[in-house]
Amino acid sequence: MATSAENRVFGKRRQPHVVILARGDKIRHMTVHPWMAAVAFCFVGVMAIGYLGATTYLVFRDDLIGASMARQARMQHDYEDRIAALRAQVDRVTSRQLLDQQVVEEKVEKLLEQQMALSSRHGRLDALLDRAEAAGALPASIPAPVPNEKPEISGKQASLSGGLDAIENLLGRKTASAKPESEKTSGTGTSALGYVPLTDTAADRSDRLFSQMTLSLKDIERDQIDRVQKLADGASETASQISGILQRNGIPLDRVDENASMDAIGGPYVAPRAAEAFNSSLNELDTALSRLESVRATAIRMPFANPAPGREITSRFGNRRDPFFGGLAMHAGIDFRSPVGGEIRATGAGKVVTAGPSGGYGNMVEIDHGLGFSTRFGHMSKIVVKAGDEINPGDVMGYSGNTGRSTGPHIHYEVRRNGEAVDPMQFLNAGMKLTSLID
């Protein structure tokens, strides 16, 4: 230590290291300072660290890239799954909308068919109602179907057109047209098919609407059938009453021989077709009206009217004291007090067979009413018809007088059945009952 200490000179710096490079004749000196060594060492350290970092990155790079790609693939798959689920949901909604629209249109079609059926019945009802009105004799208490009656859907207050407007709204054919273009094209509120999607609430409302409309149409149909049935019952009842009056007065009615109608028919057997209630009711009404028209026409032909309304009867039918000889004699008719020139009216429809002087009748008119019945009017002052004329009930045939075998101006009236005189009073009494049934 003493030696080294002695070698050191106080205040002198240690000599730096010198690197000598010789190349041929050339010699170079390079002084190596401590800071240069430090820089070189640091540079080598940095390079070593960089190399190690690069090596580590290259080692773990594939794993990082693979993990990133796997994560992206998972995200893509999840996105595609969501898109597929949304597409399936859209398809289900679209299919449901199409199905709902088809169901609604089928219901509307059925309702329209019922409406058309109800409307078509009015034509058939009109003809029967005209016949019923012409035939008359229907009880006034029977309400006749109104030909122009419209089906009603909401408490029978809203018309079918109003219900169809509601259906149009449900289908979106009016709602879509009422929306602005921005809503039509934006896809919110209206589908691409042009109708409003039916939500559960809308579907419930439509079902209730259709139920109300269907029930209303059924009520109208039932009401029509009931009214037609009442008309048929009334016509049958009236026809029966008229028939009873005619039969009590010995008037034969035209009857269909059912056995004769079976003599010339045939054909292969076919199972009977189920008859619609309304058609059955119309057929029943048609049959009842046909019968009523038949008996009514017979009643109109027969002498049930009064030849001198409001006139006093002075002599009745039957045996009486003869006004000329004083003995008992048969009076074949009834006499009405009437001044000369009083109107004499026909008591039934028929054809004039005699119009002129006829023995004790004086000026006489005889009318043939068919079915063996005829009427005679005697002692007339003037005759205004001639043989062959067709006469309707109430037509004036002449005027009362005092011609023939008569003691004073009056009207002599007879009713004959198959040429034999019958009491006209029974026809007059029956005519009073028939007035309310025929007029």
Higher pLDDT, 39 or 19: 39
pLDDT at 406: 86
The yes-or-no verdict on residue 246 having pLDDT over 50 is yes
User: Domain limits of the chain?
Assistant: 313-438
Q: Which among 119-123, 197-201, 288-292, 378-382 has the top mean pLDDT? A: 378-382
Q: How confident is the model at residue 206 (pLDDT cuts 50, 70, 90)?
A: low
Domain 313-438, CATH:
2.70.70.10
Higher pLDDT, 88 or 234: 88
The yes-or-no verdict on residue 19 having pLDDT over 50 is yes
If one counts every other C-beta atom within 10 angstroms of the C-beta of residue 327, the result is 7
- Listing DSSP states for 336-386 in one string gives EE--TT-EEE-SS-EEEEEEEE-GGG-EEEEEEEETTEEEEEESEEEE---
The yes-or-no verdict on residue 266 having pLDDT over 70 is no
pLDDT in tens, 344-402: 999 999 999 999 998 889 999 999 998 889 999 999 999 999 999 999 998 999 999 98
Which of 35-39, 251-255, 427-431 is predicted least confidently? 251-255
Distance of alpha carbon 415 from alpha carbon 425, whole angstroms: 9
pLDDT at 363: 93
User: What average pLDDT is seen over the chain?
Assistant: 75
pLDDT at 414: 93
Which of 12-26, 33-47, 95-109, 319-333 is predicted least confidently? 12-26
Percentage of residues in the chain with pLDDT exceeding 90? 18
Report, as an integer, the average pLDDT of 154-168. 43
Which of 16-30, 326-340, 352-366 is predicted least confidently? 16-30
Is residue 317 within 8 Å of 423, Cβ to Cβ? yes
Angle between helices 277-301 and 34-135 (to 10 degrees): 20
Q: Which two tokens stand for residue 266?
A: 């045939």
Structural element, H or E, at residue 212: helix 200-248
Percentage of residues in the chain with pLDDT exceeding 70? 72
Residue with tokens 């009745």: 316
pLDDT at 211: 77
The yes-or-no verdict on residue 308 having pLDDT over 80 is yes
Distance of alpha carbon 412 from alpha carbon 342, whole angstroms: 12
Q: Which two tokens stand for residue 428?
A: 């007059």
Q: How confident is the model at residue 13 (pLDDT cuts 50, 70, 90)?
A: low
Report, as an integer, the average pLDDT of 163-175. 46
Strands 318-321 and 26-32, by their bridges, are unpaired
Name residue 307's amino acid. Answer: P
Based on the number of CB atoms within 10 Å of its own CB, is 303 exposed (0-12), middle (13-18) or buried (19 or more)? Answer: buried
Q: Which among 134-138, 230-234, 262-266, 410-414 has the top mean pLDDT? A: 410-414
Closest CA to 301 of 362, 349, 368: 349
